[in-house]
Amino acid sequence: MSDIMKKTFIKKILKNFSKIVKSPIRFLKKVLLNLRKKIRLSITFKITSTYLGIYLLSLLLVIILTLAGYLGYKIFELDNTGDSYAPYIIEKTVYNKESLDAFIIDERIEGILLYNDNFNLITRTGNEYKDYNNNIFSKIDIIKNNRIYKYTDSYIFNEKTYYLTINFNIQKIIAELRIIGFFILGAGLIGALILAAIGPIVSKKMVKPIKDMTEVAKTITANNINTRLNVKASQYELKELAETFNKMMDRIEEDYIRQQHFVSDVSHELRTPIAVLKGYTDMLDRWGKKDEEVLEESILAIKNETTNMQDLIEKLLFIARNDKHTLKLNKEEFYIKDLVLEVAKETKMINKKHLIKCDCKENSLIFADKNRIKQAIRIFIENAVKFTPEGGSIYIRCMKDNEYSIIEIEDTGLGIKKRNLKKIFDRFYREEFSREKEQGGHGLGLSIAKIIVLGHRGKIKVKSTYEKGSIFSIYIPHIT
């Protein structure tokens, strides 16, 4: 084998080696992912297992605390016994030289040991406990397979310190502990079995309202958008959830209905100009080619209608942009008086049939979108012109208060009935007379003006007396 061949061979092995090492890990990952997808633990299972886990932990805690408490109590008892025996035993052994064996009077006592103040053993009971652990500081010992509790205390006799250790056999206590522990554990496990059996039934009942809600929610479409969840059937948090869901559906339904109306209004508005266009093109087709009068009339009408349609489409686009929150305001600082005078001048130029008076004594600096504000002022002035009979007056005023710069447009026109005042800002709303009249627009002007003014954190106020006139006041926050 040549060197090159050897190298490529080693490279191949190395390449495959990493593949071989990586592939089982990848395989394992895949299996785990698939398993997770397949075993979709139900919420019922999760609730039951969580409660079962908490229960078992509590059971363990109860067992530990009970056993520790019982053992503590027994040791306390042994300490008390030791406390009562010890002084007597020391006295008898140190002074009367009596054997310690005489004091094994309690069946729990396995042995007694007496030490001097240097911890040297002076005497002890019988030889059978020779192999005891001499460490008097260790409390529990195992001697001859028996667990021993070593009670030790010091006593001063004749100015000498003695240490006495009494070895209590606690094997019986340990057996008692075992029995107690066993019984609690047994009872606890039976409880756990009951919990495991009943848990899924209870939690299923608990999540049933959620399931019902899901089923209802699944069936809601545009056709049955008025369907609501049964709030009465739910309780507590689920009731709140059902109510919140229903309120959300109310809002969606309201929006949906508004959209439907909007679409039908738009279609309605477009139907007339399209019918007019069709009428004139038909007329042109039949006679217009030869008759110049018809030709001119048709062209003029078509021009008017297309302008009208263009105007409508522009307005609709504006509203749609606002609804989609994509309407942008290009704000700048400017004096409102200049803008109002400009619009008034323009209106005066094209309208000679009304008396238009502009009184702008007060001026204020505002931070706003100049073109949009101009558009809004124009809407109010154009309406005043539209709905004021020839010879009537229109007054335009600029004022200010602490917060707002106020533009007032007053007319001596038709006025608005009180009951209709709220509706005039609705999309496509027009008073009966303005529907009939030619000058009536599409009923979108005030909606647009409202969007603009509210977009500048302003407000609009209207005062109107039917058949006498109206005052529209626009409030825009000012800088100074």
Handedness of CA 439, 444, 448, 454 (dihedral sign): positive
Sign of the dihedral defined by the CA atoms of residues 38, 42, 46, 49, in that order: negative
Which of 48, 234, 470, 473 lies at the binding interface for ligand ADP (CB under 6 A)?
470
Q: Which of 414, 451, 452, 453 binds ligand ADP (CB under 6 A)?
A: 414
Under the binding rule (CB under 6 A), the answer on residue 242 touching ligand ADP is no
The string over 130-159, giving b where at least 16 C-beta atoms fall within 10 Å of a residue's C-beta and e elsewhere, is eebeeeeeeeeeebeeeebbbbbeebeeee
Q: Determine contact, residues 126/101, Cβ cutoff 8 Å.
A: yes
- Cα separation, 84 vs 103, in Å, equals 12
Q: Which residues pair with 154 in a beta bridge?
A: 163
Q: Which pair of structure tokens corresponds to residue 25?
A: 């890990």
Which residue among 148, 443, 451, 458 contacts ligand ADP (CB under 6 A)?
A: 443
Q: Which is nearer to ligand ADP, 199 or 415 (CB)?
A: 415
Strands of the sheet containing 393-400, edge to edge, are: 355-360, 393-400, 404-411, 469-477, 459-465
Cβ proximity to ligand ADP, 138 vs 272, nearer residue: 272
CA neighbor of 149 nearest in space, from 91, 78, 249: 78
DSSP 8-state symbol, 304: H
Interface with ligand ADP includes 112 (CB under 6 A)? no
Cβ atoms of residues 479 and 403 within 8 Å: no
Give the shortest CB-356-to-ligand ADP separation in angstroms: 14
Taking CB under 6 A as the binding criterion, the range among 34-42, 143-151, 227-235, 380-388 that sits at the site for ligand ADP is: 380-388
Q: Applying CB under 6 A, does 396 fall inside the site for ligand ADP?
A: no
- CB nearer to ligand ADP: give 408 or 431: 431
- Min dist CB 378 to ligand ADP, Å, is 11
Of these, 396, 446, 451, 476, which contacts ligand ADP (CB under 6 A)? 446
3-state secondary structure of 388: coil
Q: If binding is defined by CB under 6 A, does position 455 make contact with ligand ADP? A: no
Nearer to ligand ADP, 162 or 387 (CB): 387
114 binding ligand ADP? (CB under 6 A): no
Contact pick of 111, 199, 273, 445 for ligand ADP (by CB under 6 A):
445
Site for ligand ADP in 70-89 (CB under 6 A): none
One character per residue 419-438, x = contact with ligand ADP (rule: CB under 6 A) = -----x----xxx--x----
Q: How far is the CB of 438 from ligand ADP (least distance, A)?
A: 11
Residue type, 115: Y
CB 195 within 8 A of CB 52: yes
> What residues make contact with ligand ADP under the rule CB under 6 A?
379, 383-384, 387, 411, 413-416, 424, 429-431, 434, 440-447, 470
